[in-house]
Amino acid sequence: MLGQRVITAVVLLALLLPALSATSPWPFALLSLLLIGAAGWEWGRLNGGAGVAAVCLGLAVAVACGAALWAGWIGAAPALPWWIATLLWVLGGTWTLARGPAGWPRIPAPLRWILGAGLLWTAWLALANAKGVGINFILSVFCLVWVADIAAYFGGRKFGRRKLAPAVSPGKSWEGVWSGMAGVLVLALGWLAIDRAVSVDSPSLYSHLDTRLGPVGLVLVVVFLAAMSVVGDLFESLVKRSVGAKDSSALLPGHGGVLDRVDALLPVFPIAMAMAAL
Domain boundaries, the chain: 2-276
Does the pLDDT at position 277 exceed 90?
no
Of 22-31, 35-44, 174-183, minimum mean pLDDT range: 22-31
From CA 126, how far away is CA 120, in angstroms rounded? 10
> Contact at 8 Å (CB) between 267 and 229?
yes
Start-end of H helices in the chain: 2-21, 26-46, 52-70, 80-87, 93-99, 109-133, 135-159, 174-197, 205-242, 258-262, 265-276
Alpha carbon of residue 185 to chain centroid: 18
Give me the mean pLDDT over the 239-256 stretch: 90
Q: Is 170 helix (H, G, I), strand (E, B) or coil?
A: strand
Conformational region of residue 244, where left means phi above 0, alpha means psi within -120 to 50, and beta covers everything else? left
From CA 171, how far away is CA 160, in angstroms rounded? 9
Give me the mean pLDDT over the 244-248 stretch: 92
Taking CB atoms within 8 Å and a gap of at least 24, the contacts of 215-222 are 218/188, 219/185, 219/188, 221/275, 222/144, 222/184, 222/185, 222/188
Predicted TM-score (pTM) of the model is 0.94
pLDDT in tens, 2-35: 577 778 888 888 888 899 888 888 899 999 999 9
pLDDT in tens, 71-98: 989 878 889 999 999 999 999 999 999 9
pLDDT band at 175 (very low <50, low <70, confident <90, very high): very high
Report the amino acid identity of residue 70.
Answer: W
From CA 122, how far away is CA 64, in angstroms rounded? 10
Residues in the chain: 278
From CA 267, how far away is CA 258, in angstroms rounded? 15
How high is the pLDDT of residue 6?
78
How high is the pLDDT of residue 8?
82
